[in-house]
Structure 1
Amino acid sequence: MTAAPTPRSSSAPPFDAAELDDGQLVTLTHGRSHALIAPHVGGSIAAWYDQERQAGTAQHWLRPATRTAIEARDPLGMASFPLMPYCNRIRDGRFRFEGEMIDLPSGTGALRHALHGHAWRRPWRVESQQANALTLYFVHEAPARGGEGWPFSYEARQHITLDETGLSVRLWARNLGSRTMPFGFGHHPYYPKPPGTRLSARVRAMWEIDAEVLPVTLSAHPAVDALESGLIVDDFDLDNNFSGWRREALIEWPHEGRRLTLRAGAPLDYFVLYSAQGLPWFCAEPVSNTTDWLNLQLGGLAGRLDVGGTALAPGESVEAQLGWVPGRI
């Protein structure tokens, strides 16, 4: 890709895309830049990298998947995956919508909180393909009344493009049912986190969380100011939502002389930062709703606090654009 910087570090690890490919990956190419897409693993991005001139080396902009994760069909091991029809957790997998109590399939313990919707756990279909662009399609049919699962039918697309500006994803979804459907969406990217990694973003406030990583109160946490001035990712241990995001974040790897700008369009007005100390990666996610937004609304916060999410009337659609632009420090 012509806009990609040549890193000052020569420590790019060996990488063989052929070893990652299980025969079902789709490769997008623009110049030296390559994106590997895994339609069968939740419509995920498996890797995005620049092929270095030295054979067998690559400069990764997102944390690459492993062959083990591909074979296990594990979206949590991908570079990024789509979030639909809601982002992050719903407390106890239950919420009330238009007078009806909705119960979602969930596990036990911390997993009793329904997580990230379901589109990331199911295969997507390749609808169209070019050398540097791909459209993926997904449809969910509501189970028969009384059955388990998301009780609203919808269709969705991801249009993924690799060009001279970087990697972009256009998300689109439409309500196929005969009743109004609550809906939230976004993407869940993982980034490399070598020492000194810095993250900058303008946000208004951070949601404090309880022991089960669910939001309880909005506050002016020190991370808010740190993000504006440039937060050293290893200095914070966070798994939190931020409101008032200006839809842009800058990731910098100073020791490698490179940076990556994340930009999103409305309604991806919320920002999630997950960075656990000791892990070699972190997540900075553009999303359309605060964690557990449906229950926060029930708690009387709607109208007083902006928690995001939307409601799609029958036949109504929603879309948003997000993208990553590489650069040089």
Structure 2
Amino acid sequence: MRDVSLNPVRPFGHELTELTWLDDPAIAPTLVMLTSGATRVVVAPEIGGALAAYYESTPAGPLHWLRPATQGAFDERDPLRMASFPLFPYCNRIRDARFQFDGGMVDLNGNDVRFAHALHGNAWRSPWQVGTRTERSVELHFEHEPDSQRPGDWPFRYRARQRIELIGGALRIAMSAQNLSERPMPFGMGHHPYYPRTAQTRVFANVQGMWHADADVLPTHLGPHPAVEALRHGMSPDAFALDNNFANWSREATIAWPDEHRQLTMTADAPFDHMVVFAPANDTQLCVEPVTNTTDCFNAVGMREQVGGCVLQPGEEIAAALNWAPRSG
């Protein structure tokens, strides 16, 4: 875990946001609450298998390690406004919602009219089933059955799982997927966590290069960028307007709030060999996403270790885990 300076700049507790939706009788029964000591994780299986909150319960209120879900996220069943959500069977965008694979065209147009390019796969748009659960863990399951009558539907059958667990104060998400089709399936996965963003927030990570992007946030080429060096020394989310993939990171990143005396270190197993930073200018959003593939990986030209993703053979399964370890003081 990276140890960064925790010199105080302003009072502790910027993100002591109350979770009013926990008391909403229409919402509370749909949630799964995990507890370990003072740490809580709230899971919203019906909203894309997403996390609604990850926080420490304090006398002053919940201190959030991830940006908590809004009431609007529940009202509109919108995973994009949750704390984090799973990405299956690919991460981020596919240009024009189509790509060539195995001698044919996979056309995903129409799967979500809000976006010109296919976005984040399909598992985040559907409810997940709750499996085994304990006080500290829960298993979620999602199975996709292709529907040829549904425009832009993912044409491969697959099963996805998440095991979400608290180990002390740390959060662990073990993710897996299995190709249930009778033919090979292109594949990628990831998680999409949002973090609290303050004027003093810093992001630390070792990366080898950045995928530059066009106006549609689709990658054009892999190369140097000042953000690569800035991440090594602690990058302010305000330093650049980013929505970019970083290739071949060390599978460890730290989000630090030195003004609040705390930090959160994210680590990932292979093949989460790629990282996305979403830090738009003049905004409150900050994402540091562990993913197995770059944006538009099914169309991208480059070496496999630069592009990521894989092809799952019939019956083949892939599994890897993500961890978030908090530190305060």
TM-score scaled by length of structure 1: 0.92
- Quote the Cα distance in structure 2 between the aligned partners of 1:218 and 1:155: 32
Q: Could you tell me whether the CA contact under 8 Å between 2:111 and 2:152 is conserved in 1? A: no
Letter in structure 2 aligned against 1:19: D
Moved more, 35-44 or 107-116: 107-116
Q: Which residue of 1 aligns with 2:33?
A: 27
Against the structure 1 CA distance between its residues 16 and 78, is the aligned structure 2 distance closer, same or farther, given a 3 Å change threshold?
Answer: closer
Q: Could you tell me whether the CA contact under 8 Å between 2:272 and 2:292 is conserved in 1? A: yes
The answer to whether structure 1 residue 44 and structure 2 residue 50 are counterparts is yes
Q: Which residue of 1 aligns with 2:234?
A: 230
Q: Which residue of 2 aligns with 1:98?
A: 102
* From 88, 93, 103, the counterpart of 1:89: 93
The answer to whether structure 1 residue 154 and structure 2 residue 180 are counterparts is no
- Quote the Cα distance in structure 1 between the aligned partners of 2:138 and 2:244: 32
Q: Which residue of 2 aligns with 1:127?
A: 131
Q: Could you tell me whether the CA contact under 8 Å between 1:80 and 1:188 is conserved in 2? A: yes
Q: Which residue of 2 aligns with 1:286?
A: 290
Q: Secondary structure, in 3 states, of the residue corresponding to 1:111? A: coil
The answer to whether structure 1 residue 13 and structure 2 residue 29 are counterparts is no
The answer to whether structure 1 residue 186 and structure 2 residue 190 are counterparts is yes
Letter in structure 2 aligned against 1:40: E
- Quote the Cα distance in structure 2 between the aligned partners of 1:26 and 1:227: 35
The answer to whether structure 1 residue 214 and structure 2 residue 210 are counterparts is no
Q: Secondary structure, in 3 states, of the residue corresponding to 2:194? A: strand
- Quote the Cα distance in structure 1 between the aligned partners of 2:140 and 2:232: 35
Deviation (angstroms), 1:14: 4.5
Q: Which residue of 1 aligns with 2:3?
A: none
Q: Secondary structure, in 3 states, of the residue corresponding to 2:72? A: helix
Deviation (angstroms), 1:241: 0.2
Any residues of structure 2 matched to 1:52-63 within 5 Å, and which? 52-54=58-60, 57-63=61-67
Letter in structure 1 aligned against 2:42: L
Q: Which stretches in structure 2 are left out of the alignment for 5+ residues? A: 1-5
The answer to whether structure 1 residue 321 and structure 2 residue 327 are counterparts is no
Against the structure 1 CA distance between its residues 145 and 312, is the aligned structure 2 distance closer, same or farther, given a 3 Å change threshold?
Answer: farther
Against the structure 1 CA distance between its residues 280 and 19, is the aligned structure 2 distance closer, same or farther, given a 3 Å change threshold?
Answer: farther
Q: Secondary structure, in 3 states, of the residue corresponding to 1:292? A: coil
Identity score, percent: 47
Q: Could you tell me whether the CA contact under 8 Å between 2:212 and 2:223 is conserved in 1? A: yes
- Quote the Cα distance in structure 1 between the aligned partners of 2:14 and 2:112: 42
Q: Could you tell me whether the CA contact under 8 Å between 1:196 and 1:234 is conserved in 2? A: no
RMSD over aligned CA atoms reads 2.0
Aligned length: 318
Letter in structure 2 aligned against 1:294: F
- Quote the Cα distance in structure 2 between the aligned partners of 1:193 and 1:27: 24
Deviation (angstroms), 1:10: 4.7
Q: Could you tell me whether the CA contact under 8 Å between 1:237 and 1:277 is conserved in 2? A: yes
Q: Secondary structure, in 3 states, of the residue corresponding to 1:223? A: helix
Letter in structure 2 aligned against 1:295: N
Deviation (angstroms), 1:66: 1.3
- Quote the Cα distance in structure 1 between the aligned partners of 2:178 and 2:127: 18
* From 203, 212, 217, the counterpart of 2:207: 203
Q: Could you tell me whether the CA contact under 8 Å between 2:185 and 2:313 is conserved in 1? A: yes
Q: Which stretches in structure 1 are left out of the alignment for 5+ residues? A: none
Moved more, 64-73 or 245-254: 64-73
Q: Could you tell me whether the CA contact under 8 Å between 1:296 and 1:302 is conserved in 2? A: no
Q: Which residue of 2 aligns with 1:75?
A: 79
- Quote the Cα distance in structure 2 between the aligned partners of 1:148 and 1:280: 32
Letter in structure 2 aligned against 1:307: V
Deviation (angstroms), 1:15: 1.1
Q: Secondary structure, in 3 states, of the residue corresponding to 2:282? A: coil
Q: Could you tell me whether the CA contact under 8 Å between 1:37 and 1:47 is conserved in 2? A: yes
Q: Could you tell me whether the CA contact under 8 Å between 1:238 and 1:275 is conserved in 2? A: yes
Moved more, 305-314 or 92-101: 305-314
- Quote the Cα distance in structure 2 between the aligned partners of 1:148 and 1:52: 46
- Quote the Cα distance in structure 2 between the aligned partners of 1:287 and 1:211: 22
